């Protein structure tokens, strides 16, 4: 299953936590807002991506399973 | 001066003289609106489309198939296939998670300052649009149609003050009168119509903003998904259709898909309304066949009154192409795509060679920045940075000029795709094409400062005064 990162640009307030926690995939623009490339997440980075999404103070960063479909919550138990 | 006042009224709506035309603009009166009886005498009664409840896979899905065969594309700018939209809404209401009866929203916000086609249809031929809405409602099984129509003066008045008898003719008045002719709101097949004024700002016509406004929120875009067809007005599956799209739908239902395809290109069948502005003898709204040459449109408008420097195609979020291409381009997306342009919402603005493109761009990008909903950081800061950079260039930047044009390239890339709606993407498209087409003028301004033409009054249709950054809920 491919996972992707997506940011809700309305909710995002440029705290920059996501870049701190996932610099491999998230850079910041000159105003501090995250730049995502939209490519599928490397499975090795999935745990870090979920951590970054959970750390976002405005919950603007989301990990999606498919387009529009949210990933399970970070703390949910595996099926 | 607002553009509304300089914009030709519906009486100026004219046609490119071509076989098979006019279609939409047939019978357009020189003053006022075409009444219900004249409308029915011209086009005949609306063919019966059974509601979803009575005939699940009957006439209603038959209409969707006919629209699919016709290849009708949405006319709000994005060009999405209308049949796919109808099917998605009809399907969403049937699904297990469906949010109940769908709602049809007529998008008449027309926030694009250079466009007047939707207002022309609503003011002069409201029954064609209402027919389309009735058909769309039947096709998706909706009982409720919300007519989102912009205020003519950039105002944001409460709904209660809509008076069908106001002296100044506006789209709202014409639609209110047309609804009264049909019996005051409840129409064919028990479809209920409601007239909903929409604030006059650029992003209010974005479908998520319109849905948000009609659900009682501000007319600002929302984060999607869910898309309106899944969860729209008050959580229901919602079909949002442009005014012109619905008018075409009313004709497809009457005359059929093969009739519709007699005009246009295979990819973009049918005719289209185009708003022509700039140094032409007769600016206004024209009906053209997709794929007809731009020169034919200009001839229909009695030609140019000045030498063209460039054309802006698609609207204020569109693409600039060089004036030398005037005799080469045809008005369809297939013909325009080699130039990176598209017809968008059907806007063609000609800029004369007397105008200063740098000053025009500085004003235009500043206005686009002012129209940001101020919700998404990259749009708020990025569009402001773009406008400031153009203003710096227009004022003469000395040795830093080259860096400024490079900065504009960077900024255009940076804002694209990073808002909740497509507003920053449109601005990026405009800037990228302007850097290409006006490279010479930009370089000259950067080196030598303002030119003599910089002080000329704006030649582009002046956007209405920008609204405050927040808009009160409906």
pLDDT, tens only, B129-168: 999 999 999 999 999 999 999 876 443 333 333 333 333 4
Provide mean pLDDT across the span B115-139: 92
pLDDT, mean of residues B393-398: 74
Contacts of B171 (CB under 8 A, 6+ apart): B108, B118, B119, B122, B123, B149, B150, B152
- Identify all chain B residues contacting A32, using CB atoms and an 8 Å cutoff: 377
How far apart (Å, rounded) are the C-alpha atoms in residues B134 and B189?
A: 8
Q: Which DSSP string do the residues of chain A spell out, in sequence order?
A: ---EEEE-TTT-----HHHHH-TTT-EE-TTS-EE---PPPPGGGHHHHHHHHHH-TT--EEEEEETTEEPPPTTPPP-
Residues of chain B with C-beta less than 8 angstroms from the C-beta of A33: 377-378, 381, 418
**B82-106: b (≥16 Cβ within 10 Å) or e:** bbebbbbbbebbeeeeebeebbbbb
**Which chain A residues touch B418 with a CB distance below 8 Å?**
9, 33, 35
B283 pLDDT more than 60:
yes
User: Among B418, B427, B278, which Cα is nearest to B367's?
Assistant: B427
CB contact under 8 A, A32 and B375: no
Task: Point out the residue among B226, B377, B420 whose CB comes nearest to the CB of A31.
Answer: B377
The segments of chain A whose pLDDT lies below 70 read 66-79
Q: Which residues from chain B sit within 8 angstroms of residue A11, using beta carbons?
A: 223
Determine which of B381, B383, B413, B417 to mutate to test the interface with A (most A C-beta atoms within 10 Å): B381
Cβ–Cβ gap B223/A35 under 8 Å: no
pLDDT of residue B165: 35
- Please compute the mean of the pLDDT values over residues B321-325 and round it to a whole number: 94
Closest CA–CA distance from residue B471 to any residue of chain A (Å): 16
Q: Note the pLDDT of residue B155.
A: 38
Q: Compute the average pLDDT of residues B257-285.
A: 93
Quick one: pLDDT at residue B31?
83
Closest residue on chain A to B373 (Cα): A10
**Which tens digit of pLDDT belongs to each residue from B372-387?**
999 999 999 999 999 9
Binary contact (B377, A8; C-beta < 8 A): no
In angstroms, rounded to a whole number, what is the distance separating the alpha carbons of residues B269 and B263? 6
CB contacts of B383 in chain A (<8 Å) are: none
pLDDT at B162: 37
Going by pLDDT thresholds of 50, 70 and 90, the confidence category of residue B2 is very low
Could you tell me the pLDDT band of residue B397, with boundaries at 50, 70 and 90? low
What confidence score (pLDDT) does residue B105 get? 96
Instruction: Give mean pLDDT, residues B118-130.
Output: 93
Q: Which of A9, A32, A67 sits opposite B376 (nearest CB)?
A: A9
Chain B interface mutation, best of A6, A8, A10, A64, highest count of B Cβ atoms under 10 Å: A10
Asked if B375 lies within 8 A of A35 by C-beta distance, the reply is no
CB nearest to B420's CB, from A9, A13, A68: A9
Chain B: give the shortest CA distance to residue A12, in Å. 7
Establish how many alpha carbons lie within 13 A of residue B156's alpha carbon, considering only the half-sphere containing its beta carbon.
Answer: 16
The alpha-carbon gap from B465 to the nearest alpha carbon of chain A, in Å, equals 25
Residue B158's pLDDT is 34
CA–CA gap between residue B31 and residue B248 (Å, rounded): 22
Query: Quick one: closest CA in A to B374, which residue?
Result: A10
- In which residue are the tokens 């027309």 written? B110
* Residue B466: partners with Cβ closer than 8 Å, 6 or more residues away: B201, B367, B370, B371
A15: which chain B residues are within 8 Å (Cβ-Cβ)? Answer: none
Q: What confidence tier does B399 reach under pLDDT thresholds 50, 70, 90? A: low
In a mutagenesis test of the B interface, which of A11, A14, A16, A33 is the best target, namely the one with the most B β-carbons within 10 Å? A33
Nearest residue in chain B measured CA to CA from A6: B418
More confident: B1 or B208: B208
ipTM of the complex: 0.85
Q: How confident is the model at residue B402 (pLDDT cuts 50, 70, 90)?
A: confident
Å between A46 CA and nearest CA of chain B: 22
3-state secondary structure at position B377: helix
> Cα–Cα distance between A4 and A68 in angstroms, integer?
10
Supply the mean pLDDT for chain B: 84
Residue contact A68–B225, C-beta within 8 A: yes
| Residues in chain B whose Cβ is within 8 Å of chain A | 221-223, 225-226, 375-379, 381-382, 414, 418-420
- Provide the pLDDT for residue A9: 96
**Which tens digit of pLDDT belongs to each residue from B10-69?**
334 555 556 788 899 988 888 888 999 999 999 988 887 654 444 444 456 689 999 999
- Three-state DSSP state, B312: strand
B220 to chain A: nearest residue by CA? A10
pTM of the model: 0.87
| pLDDT at residue B156, as a whole number | 36
pLDDT at residue number A67 = 54
pLDDT category, B200, cuts 50, 70, 90? confident
pLDDT tens figures, B84-101? 999 999 888 776 555 688
pLDDT at position B50 is 54
Q: Which of B79, B64, B90 is nearest to B230 (CA)?
A: B90
Q: C-alpha distances in angstroms, A62 versus A54, A59, B330, B465?
A: 8, 7, 43, 37
Q: Answer whether A9 sits within 8 Å of B222, measured CB to CB.
A: no
For chain A, list residues whose CB is within 8 angstroms of any CB belonging to chain B: 8-14, 29-33, 35, 67-68
């Amino acid at each position: 299953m491919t996972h992707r990162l997506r940011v809700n640009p309305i909710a995002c307030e440029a705290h920059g936590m996501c870049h701190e926690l996932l610099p491999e995939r998230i850079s910041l623009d000159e105003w501090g807002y995250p730049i995502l490339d939209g490519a599928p997440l490397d499975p090795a980075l999935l745990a870090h991506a979920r951590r970054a999404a959970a750390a976002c103070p405005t919950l603007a960063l989301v990990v999606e399973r498919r387009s529009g479909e949210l990933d399970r919550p970070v703390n949910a138990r595996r099926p | 001066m607002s553009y509304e006042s300089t914009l030709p009224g519906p009486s100026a709506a004219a046609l490119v003289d071509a076989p098979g035309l006019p279609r939409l603009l047939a019978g357009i009166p020189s003053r006022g609106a075409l009444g219900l009886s004249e409308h029915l005498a011209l086009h005949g009664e609306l063919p019966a489309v059974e509601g979803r409840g009575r005939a699940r896979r009957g006439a209603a899905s038959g209409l969707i198939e006919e629209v699919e065969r016709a290849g009708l594309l949405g006319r709000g700018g994005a060009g999405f296939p209308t049949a796919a939209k109808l099917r998605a809404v009809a399907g969403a209401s049937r699904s297990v998670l469906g949010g109940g009866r769908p709602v049809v929203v007529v998008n008449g916000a027309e926030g694009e300052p250079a466009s007047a086609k939707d207002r022309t249809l609503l003011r002069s031929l409201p029954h064609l649009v209402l027919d389309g809405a009735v058909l769309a409602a039947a096709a998706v099984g909706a009982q409720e149609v919300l007519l989102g129509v912009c205020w003519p003066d950039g105002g944001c008045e409460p709904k209660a003050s809509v008076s069908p008898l106001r002296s100044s003719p506006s789209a709202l008045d014409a639609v209110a009168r047309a609804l009264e002719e049909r019996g005051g709101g409840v129409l064919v097949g028990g479809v209920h119509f409601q007239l909903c004024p929409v604030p006059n700002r650029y992003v209010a016509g974005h479908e998520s903003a319109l849905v948000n406004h009609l659900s009682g929120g501000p007319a600002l875009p929302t984060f999607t998904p869910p898309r309106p067809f899944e969860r729209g007005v008050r959580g229901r599956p919602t079909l949002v259709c442009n005014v012109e799209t619905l008018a075409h739908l009313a004709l497809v239902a009457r005359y059929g898909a093969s009739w519709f395809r007699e005009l246009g290109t295979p990819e973009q069948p049918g005719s289209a309304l185009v708003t022509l502005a700039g140094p032409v003898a007769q600016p206004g709204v024209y009906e053209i066949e997709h794929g007809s040459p731009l020169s034919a449109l200009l001839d229909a408008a009695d030609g140019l009154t000045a030498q063209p420097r460039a054309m802006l195609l698609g609207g204020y979020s569109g693409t600039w192409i060089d004036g030398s291409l005037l005799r080469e381009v045809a008005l369809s997306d297939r013909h325009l795509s080699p130039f990176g342009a598209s017809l968008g919402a059907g806007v063609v603005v000609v800029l004369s060679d007397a105008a200063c493109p740098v000053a025009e761009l500085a004003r235009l990008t500043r206005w686009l920045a002012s129209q940001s909903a101020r919700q998404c950081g990259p749009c708020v800061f990025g569009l402001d940075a773009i406008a400031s950079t153009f203003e710096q260039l227009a004022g003469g930047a000395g040795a830093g000029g080259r860096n400024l044009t490079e900065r504009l390239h960077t900024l255009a890339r940076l804002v694209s795709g990073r808002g909740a709606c497509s507003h920053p993407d449109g601005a990026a498209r405009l800037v990228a094409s302007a850097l290409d087409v006006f490279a010479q003028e930009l370089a000259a301004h950067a080196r030598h400062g303002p030119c003599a033409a910089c002080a000329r009054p704006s030649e582009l249709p002046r956007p209405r005064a920008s609204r405050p950054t927040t808009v009160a809920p409906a």
